[in-house]
Structure formats: structure tokens, C-alpha cells
Amino acid sequence: MPYILPKHRKNLDGFIDQLADAIVSEAAEYSDPGAFAGLLNYTCTCLALRVVRRRCGQMRYWLIALLTGVFKNMADEFYRRVGAPYENRQIAKNGDVPLFQEYLKEIEKM
């Protein structure tokens, strides 16, 4: 998670809220409730590329590695903080896949 200083959060949060509102508004034009995903993907991609262009100019390998890492870390952190707890709750509610339990028992014996 990008734990940035509160003053930087304050400076960015209003713009983030406006962008989120715009994405939700555009997504409302689609009948698919998941349509916001493509809009969010487009927005994040364009934002990252525009920041790189304005900050660094020409694309370089280290920028590709850096952006790939940022997006990977975002995905990992989202899954760790939201996805895994959701999955754990669903396992508790509906039961686990039996073969996962077998593997977990085998791993515990190692």
C-alpha cells in the first residue's frame, strides 16, 4: 500500500473522487454491472502513461519495470487486503474445496 504523507493524500483525494465519479457515470451507460472494469483499466493505464511521459519523457526499460511493479503491487495488496479475507469468509460459509484441505494437511506435515 502506498502509505504516503497525509498532505499528499489531501492534495490528490479530490481529483481521485472526481475521477471515480466520472468512471461510475460512464459505466452507468452500460447494462453490464462490471462495465466499470474496462473504464477503470483504461483510466489507470492512461494515467500511468501520462505521468511517465510528463515526468520522464521517453519510455525506458526501467520505467517499464517500475510501472509493472507498481501495478503488480497494487493487485497483490488489493488481493491481500480485500480478496483473501473475502475468500476466507466464503470458505467458512460454504466449505472448502476438499483437495485444498488434503494439500494443506500434507504441507503441514513437511
User: Averaged over 42-49, what is the pLDDT?
Assistant: 97
pLDDT of residue 3 exceeding 90: no
Number of domains in the chain: 2
User: Averaged over 26-46, what is the pLDDT?
Assistant: 96
Same domain, 20 and 54: yes
Same domain, 55 and 2: yes
Same domain, 7 and 40: yes
Q: Which of 53, 46, 51 is nearest to 23 (CA)?
A: 46
Q: Which of 27, 43, 44 is nearest to 35 (CA)?
A: 27
Q: What is the pLDDT of residue 50?
A: 98
Provide the mean pLDDT of the chain. Answer: 95
Q: Which domain holds residue 96?
A: 61-110
Same domain, 93 and 43: no
User: Averaged over 45-59, what is the pLDDT?
Assistant: 97
Helices (H), 1-110: 6-27, 36-56, 61-78, 84-94, 98-109
Same domain, 27 and 49: yes
The model carries a pTM of: 0.83
Q: What is the pLDDT of residue 35?
A: 93
Same domain, 101 and 52: no
User: Using an 8 Å Cβ cutoff, are 40 and 23 in contact?
Assistant: yes
Same domain, 70 and 46: no
Same domain, 69 and 100: yes
Q: Where residue 2 falls among pLDDT bands split at 50, 70, 90? A: confident
User: Averaged over 69-92, what is the pLDDT?
Assistant: 96
Q: What is the pLDDT of residue 81?
A: 96
User: Using an 8 Å Cβ cutoff, are 48 and 67 in contact?
Assistant: yes
